[in-house]
Amino acid sequence: MNINAKYFGSVSYEESDSIHIINGLIGFESHTDYLPIPFQDEDDSLISLQCLDDETLSFILMNPFGIFPDYAPTLSMQDLRELGADSVEDISYYVISVIRDSVAESTVNLKAPLVVNALNRKAKQVILDQPEYTFRHTLGDMTQKED
């Protein structure tokens, strides 16, 4: 199959490459099937999450552990069941990013990560019950804390 991806043009993919987001993303509940496209081959640090039924809709995802090594999201047993995961080892986390002209002003949403079961390609956006995470963490603030 092919899709005209927002950031990549024509992209060929197999159905098994797509992920299904249970209940869609917040604000985009009617869109549930996406193709994750890494910006660099075999690297999940920056991904375009391309909607399969609306070629104009794509989200930029980041692997949160590369920018915030202490990130420690806690999932409920219900979330794990919905994702069909036997353990947290089957789970990958991605955070939605808003990229600005200045990388330091760009933000990531650590409060509501996209949680993906890598084995069955089911995903879900969860809102963490952890007050240390917010919907807008500025990348510039995060890199200053690490220095």
Tens-digit pLDDT profile for residues 62-119: 999 988 999 999 999 999 999 999 888 999 999 999 988 887 888 999 999 999 999 9
Taking only the tens place, the pLDDT of each residue in 25-75 is: 999 999 999 999 999 887 788 999 999 999 999 999 999 998 899 999 999
DSSP state of 47: E
pLDDT of the residue at 142:
65
For residue 124, give the H/E element and its range: strand 122-125
pLDDT of the residue at 63:
95
Per-residue pLDDT band for 147 (boundaries 50, 70, 90) equals very low
The pTM (predicted TM-score) of the whole model is 0.89
Are the C-beta atoms of 34 and 51 separated by less than 8 Å?
yes
